[in-house]
């Protein structure tokens, strides 16, 4: 199932950001791309011509925000956050870092949030079209009063849903139905209110 997708594999690290009042103000998102995609990006952009996988300051600047450039209107990115009231609106991404690590491109950006108390939260980093598979590998920055758990998707059930929709061979299904949510990792955060 899903032979045509995903095309890109990304390890995701999240760092929760807070202000001096202990309110959640955003999420710093780190994406570490797979070796093959990293190589394609470097070649397409004419970066690292000597192939040593070490970027100059100018090359890092040229790479900064490359993965945020072509977001179409209405595209929410690859980060979805919910509280008990529903979906939380995230601000536009702000690129903060780009470099190489062990032959893989690593980028970082911040998704700001209007300050809010830490509470019961659900975070899902995923690509709706499942062009990229995002694997949540690390979460930091949570207050000590919060507990978190990463729930892995049931990929067999996800494959069965895609198959029921017409099969993995139909490329249009991934864009039209946006099956990425079926393959999404889920971070559940539960916080005890401070007295």
pLDDT in tens, 13-22: 999 999 999 9
Question: For 79, phi and psi rounded to 5 degrees?
Answer: -140, 125
Give the pLDDT mean for 124-136.
Answer: 92
Q: Which residue has the higher pLDDT, 116 or 70?
A: 116
pLDDT at 123: 96
What's residue 87's pLDDT?
94
Residue 46 has pLDDT above 50, yes or no: yes
Sequence-distant contacts of 84-88: CB under 8 A, at least 24 apart = 84/119, 84/120, 88/113, 88/116
What pLDDT sits at residue 180?
Answer: 86
Closest CA to 134 of 65, 83, 184: 184
Residue 73 has pLDDT above 80, yes or no: no
Contact in structure between 40 and 9 (CB atoms under 8 Å): no
Cross-strand partners of 44: none
Check: CB of residue 33 under 8 Å from CB of residue 132: no
Interval 118-124 mean pLDDT: 94
Compute the distance between CA of residue 60 and CA of residue 53 in angstroms, rounded to an integer: 11
Predicted TM-score (pTM) of the model is 0.89
Q: Which residue has the higher pLDDT, 131 or 195?
A: 131
Q: What residues contact 81, with CB distance under 8 A and at least 6 apart?
A: 27, 87, 88, 90, 113, 121, 122, 123, 124
Res 185: pLDDT: 96
**pLDDT for the residue 172:** 59
41: helix, coil or strand? helix
Q: Are strands 80-83 and 86-87 parallel, antiparallel or unpaired?
A: antiparallel
Question: Is the pLDDT reported for residue 1 higher than 70?
Answer: no
Mean pLDDT for the chain overall: 89
């Amino acid at each position: 199932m899903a032979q045509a997708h995903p095309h890109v594999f990304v390890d995701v690290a999240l760092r929760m950001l807070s202000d001096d009042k202990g309110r959640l103000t955003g999420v710093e998102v780190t994406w570490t791309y797979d070796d093959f995609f990293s190589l394609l990006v470097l070649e397409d952009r004419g970066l690292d011509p000597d192939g040593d996988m070490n970027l100059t300051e100018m090359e890092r600047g040229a790479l900064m925000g490359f993965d945020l450039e072509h977001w179409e209107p209405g595209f929410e990115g690859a980060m979805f956050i919910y509280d008990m009231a529903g979906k939380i609106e995230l601000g536009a991404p702000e690129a903060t870092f780009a470099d190489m690590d062990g032959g893989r491109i690593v980028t970082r950006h911040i998704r700001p949030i209007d300050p809010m108390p830490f509470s019961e939260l659900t975070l899902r980093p995923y690509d709706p079209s499942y062009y990229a598979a995002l694997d949540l590998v690390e979460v930091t920055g949570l207050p000590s009063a919060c507990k978190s758990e990463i729930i892995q998707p049931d990929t067999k059930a996800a494959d069965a849903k895609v198959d029921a929709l017409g099969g993995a061979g139909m490329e249009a299904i991934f864009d039209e139905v946006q099956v990425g949510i079926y393959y999404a990792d889920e971070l559940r955060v539960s916080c005890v209110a401070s007295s």
